[in-house]
Amino acid sequence: MTMTRSVIRAALALAAVLSVGMAAAQMTPVGSWHSFDDKTGELKSLIQISESNGVLSGRIDKLLRKEADQKAVCDKCTDDRKDKPMLGLEIIRGAKKAEGKDVWEGGNILDPENGTVYKLRMTPIEDGQKLEVRGFIGFALLGRTQTWVRVQ
C-alpha cells in the first residue's frame, strides 16, 4: 500500500512538473497561428512563426478566407516583397524577445493588403494560446492590435 502511494505521488509530481514546462514552452510566438479579419472576424490565414538565433520571422502558410485567391501576389508591397506570392510571404521580420518580459519587439510586420510595414510588438496571452500582435507607426499609440489563436 505504501509503495502504491509513493508511485502515485511521484506520478502526480511528474505530471505537475511537465504541465508547468509545457505552459512555459508555449509562452513564445514560435508556432502556427490563425489570424482573423479585423472587420468581419472571419478566419483569414495561417501564419507560421519561426526563430533563428533569437530573431523571429513569420510567413503566410495558407490563405483561409473562402474567396481567397491562392495565387495572389503582394501587389501593394513596396519593398523586396513586391509582386511575391502571398503564400510563403514573409510578413514578420526581426522581432526579438525583450529582456525579462514575454514580449517580442524591435521587428516589423507587413500588412500585405495595403503594403504598409509597421513596427511590431507580440505578446503571448492566455498561457500562450493567443498572441496579441500590435502593429504601429511612430509611437505604440498609433496602430492596431490583432489577436491570433495558436493552432495545435
Asked if residue 15 has pLDDT above 50, the reply is no
Asked if residue 83 has pLDDT above 80, the reply is yes
Q: Is the separation of the CB atoms in 94 and 105 below 8 Å?
A: no
Dig out the grid coordinates for 109 from the structure: 510586420
pLDDT tens for each residue of 29-53? 999 999 999 889 999 999 999 999 9
pLDDT band (50, 70, 90) for residue 142: confident
pLDDT band (50, 70, 90) for residue 5: low
Beta strands in the chain (DSSP E): 31-36, 43-52, 55-63, 90-97, 104-111, 116-125, 130-136, 143-150
Specify the pLDDT at position 151.
97
CATH code reported for the domain at 28-150: 2.40.128.520
* Exposed / middle / buried, residue 143 (Cβ in 10 Å: 0-12, 13-18, 19+): middle
Nearest to 47 by CA among 81, 76, 88: 88
Specify the pLDDT at position 143.
87
Asked if residue 54 has pLDDT above 90, the reply is yes
Specify the pLDDT at position 18.
43
Asked if residue 10 has pLDDT above 60, the reply is no
